Amino acid sequence: MKKPGVSFAQPRPLIRWSVHAAIVILLTALTQIGGLAWLAAMLLSRRFRGTRRAIAVLAMFVPLYGLGSALASVAAPVFGRVPLPCLAEQGATMHMQSMLYCVLNRQYVVPELKTAALALAAHMNSSFPGTTTLTLDGNFPFFDGFALLPHLSHSDGRKLDIAFYYNDVAGVFRDGETRSPLGYFAFEQPREGAASPCEGRDDVVTMRWDLAALQSLWSPMALEEKRTSEAIRWLSDEGRAYGIAKIFVEPHLAERLGVSAETIKFQGCRAARHDDHIHIQVSK
């Protein structure tokens, strides 16, 4: 029996707003501007109620997000960042590995890093005709210190990941292809006796994921060692003239590829593995 003075109202508004808050936080973390697009869609659909409002929010979010992304590419230079090429255009030697990176606004870098990446791509195509260099995560378009999850260091426009180059099972170079769908997490496993600075560690807080269950799902391609080693060599040598200050490569892989330089570094045992891509950054 309901007692006088005691409210049994259902907390549906609180739950609804909690869900929207979670969506805004998630979209902001994934895309930087998606949370604002969702809030704008909620504001514009406020005259609807119930299911109709939910549909209206979803319908409005997509074009608003698209518009926001287009405006971001125009406004990013004000914040010192420029977008990398998203599509494989005729004659181009570099583009993002997947359009998903561009959809999520993760293709932005400072101008000097874009210049360095384009110079690398031009060199690779000159040294190995018919070679396209694929870029992975860069940075968001706005604000230093806004982390590009799951990365911790991609927060100032000065970091960029580059995909490895691969051969098929017959040893033929596969231009513009990677083992995994997004270019990440297809790890090159250490060979017997190779350098293993993290062996035996059991860190509680770590991003060094082996993702063993996924490895058998990737395409049966092999690392194209000549191109990958030449890319790292160029970055550590000629790349210094373009401001390349650090290159993260797993020690066992640098050893296998025969590359060494002051700028080639190990990222540490708590950071993500770097035997599935090349991480580069320019100095400030």
- Read off the pLDDT of each residue in 66-78 and give the average, rounded to a whole number: 96
User: What is the per-residue pLDDT for 47?
Assistant: 87
User: What is the per-residue pLDDT for 118?
Assistant: 97
* pLDDT above 70: residue 33: yes
* pLDDT above 50: residue 209: yes
- Read off the pLDDT of each residue in 103-107 and give the average, rounded to a whole number: 97
Tell me which of 136-145, 160-169, 188-197, 198-207 is least confident: 198-207
20-32 residue pLDDT tens: 899 999 999 999 9
What backbone torsions phi and psi does residue 246 show, to the nearest 5 degrees?
-145, 145
117-160 residue pLDDT tens: 999 999 999 999 999 999 999 999 999 999 898 888 999 999 99
Q: Which residue has the higher pLDDT, 204 or 56?
A: 56
pLDDT, the chain, mean: 92
In angstroms and rounded to an integer, the radius of gyration of the C-alpha atoms of the chain is 23
Share of the chain above pLDDT 70, in %: 96
User: What is the per-residue pLDDT for 8?
Assistant: 45
Q: Which residue has the higher pLDDT, 83 or 204?
A: 83
Amino acid, single-letter form, for residue 200: G
User: What is the per-residue pLDDT for 193?
Assistant: 84
* pLDDT above 60: residue 7: no
In sequence order, what are the beta bridge partners of 277? 163
Q: Which residue has the higher pLDDT, 19 or 163?
A: 163
User: What is the per-residue pLDDT for 44?
Assistant: 93
- Read off the pLDDT of each residue in 44-73 and give the average, rounded to a whole number: 92
- Read off the pLDDT of each residue in 256-281 and give the average, rounded to a whole number: 93
Q: At how many degrees (to 10) do helices 34-44 and 50-75 cross?
A: 140
User: What is the per-residue pLDDT for 48?
Assistant: 85
* pLDDT above 80: residue 75: yes
